[in-house]
Amino acid sequence: MKIYIASAFTEKERVAQLFERAKGLGFEIAGDWTIHRLVKPYEENKEISKQYAEEDISSVRNSDVFILLSNQEGSTGAHVEFGAALALAKEKGKPKIYVVGDHTSRSLFYYHHLVNIRKDIEDIFQELGNDNSFKSLEKKENMVKIGIIGGSGLDDPKLLENYECIDIITPYGHPSSSITQGKLNSVDVAILARHGKKHQIMPSNINYRANIWALKELGCTHIIATTAVGSLQEDIAPGHLVFPDQFIDRTTKRAQSFYDTNKVCHIPMAEPFCAKLRVNIIEGAEQQKLTHHKKGTVLTIEGPRFSTKAESHMFRSWNAHIINMSTVPEVVLAREAGLCYASIAMSTDYDCFMETREPVTLEEVLRVMHENAEKVKSLLKEIIPKIHHTECSCKEMIKASVIG
């Protein structure tokens, strides 16, 4: 883990001491703004000032953690480097930014949502050394960590042993909930509540980019997303599980890419769900003797309202099998992030195409959803220890998809 420490020039000796302390704790040093001699006035030394700035920004770019120290007057200096760190954190998710000091800065940057304020640098060293949410930033090759995005009833932390809840901020803001991390049959697992812990976030308002980014930053390699769905086909009865292999997108308001400025990403979506992960899920369902459908097309609508009969019949004419409000853009963003993603869809009701049935009600959906939850928890316990693959086309497609 590489650390960059910036401060006012009056703090040079303190910075040198902190570097020795950081090295003793096993951290690498990416750079130090105070290593350069003070060049004044800058107007008369533009070339050397430019050189120093380029060197510093390069060091910031290579750092995992950027720490800015304020002196007793609340001054820090290093505003160019601080601005570079903010820009990089927004675009790439690192470095993680800390400001140390009791004194309020005059810069509004310090109130940015990506900036973490601490009173003492020792608090940061302890946090970086002990906080699993940051340890996971040190990506480990050939390691599997499973992210579970839980729909209603399936974000239960009791699935995990020795779990802890972690709050994380991403370049796209806060994810839907704190993330619960722990072990499931000795496998590292992170659970995120898609709609919030109290199901308070409607589908259109879910911060999908923050959710996927957070799981990626916490080291997840695979995502299993559980989702409640309505059935568009008579043979998919309430209580059945479906493992989709295709989707149809009918959303209208959602950001579907991490690359929305300066770059364009044309990510392949011919096979949107991870084939290898789907095999794990299907084999687990067979082992558990759960009624399931090995494939199907999920149609994602904007919501939060349910369909009209006309819409339901139209969706059936498109050969869609199930309908929900959350798979898109979640699956798209997972592919951009290089994550293997598959979905466990739980049929809670028939959509309103069936003339012989009363229109679907929320009460009916919730009743069946709770009945489904236990069987899916059992399925997760079955399949997660058997997920071993680390090489997959899901991880490679992004490498040839970005222009700019």
Q: Where would I find the beta strands (DSSP E) of 57-144?
A: 65-69, 96-100, 115-118
Q: What confidence score (pLDDT) does residue 39 get?
A: 46
Which two tokens mark 295? 């494939």
Q: What confidence score (pLDDT) does residue 38 get?
A: 46
CA distance 15 to 235: 68
What is the SS3 assignment for 123? helix
Q: Does domain 2-130 have CATH number 3.40.50?
A: yes
Domains 2-130 and 140-403 share a fold: yes
Q: What confidence score (pLDDT) does residue 337 get?
A: 95
Cis peptide before 95 (omega within 30 of 0): yes
Q: What confidence score (pLDDT) does residue 136 get?
A: 44
Contact (CB, 8 A) for 1 and 125: no
Contact (CB, 8 A) for 321 and 232: yes
* H runs (alpha helix) in 298-386: 309-317, 327-336, 362-383
- The shares of helix, strand and coil residues in the chain, as percent rounded to the nearest 5, are 40, 25, 40
Which residues, at least 6 apart from 347, have a Cβ–Cβ distance to it below 8 Å? 229, 230, 231, 236, 237, 238, 239, 240, 241, 242, 322, 368, 372
Which residues, at least 6 apart from 85, have a Cβ–Cβ distance to it below 8 Å? 4, 60, 63, 66, 95, 97
Q: Which of 221, 238, 189 is nearest to 345 (CA)?
A: 238
Distances (CA, A) of 16 to 20, 78, 113, 179: 7, 16, 29, 36
Q: What confidence score (pLDDT) does residue 20 get?
A: 78
Q: What confidence score (pLDDT) does residue 388 get?
A: 93
CA distance 172 to 20: 34
Q: Would you identify the CATH topology of the domain 140-403?
A: Rossmann fold (3.40.50)
CA distance 365 to 229: 9
283-319: b or e for each residue (b if 16 or more CB lie within 10 Å)? ebbeebebebbeebbbbbbbbeebbeeebbeebbeee
- Residues with a catalytic annotation lie at 349, 351
Using N-to-C axis directions, what is the helix angle for 362-383 and 275-288, rounded to 10°? Answer: 100
**0.85 exceeded by pTM:** no
Q: Long-range contacts of range 303-310, CB-CB < 8 Å, 24 or more positions apart?
A: 303/202, 303/203, 303/204, 304/202, 304/203, 304/204, 306/230, 306/351, 306/352, 306/359, 306/360, 307/230, 307/351, 307/352, 308/352, 309/352, 309/353
Provide block-wise average pLDDT over 10 residues at a time, the chain (404 residues).
73 73 79 53 57 71 81 56 77 81 55 77 79 45 86 72 88 92 93 92 96 93 95 96 98 95 94 98 97 98 95 98 98 97 94 79 78 91 95 94 91
Cis peptide before 175 (omega within 30 of 0): no
Contact (CB, 8 A) for 100 and 70: yes
Cis peptide before 304 (omega within 30 of 0): yes
CA distance 102 to 123: 13
Write down the domain spans for the chain.
Answer: 2-130, 140-403
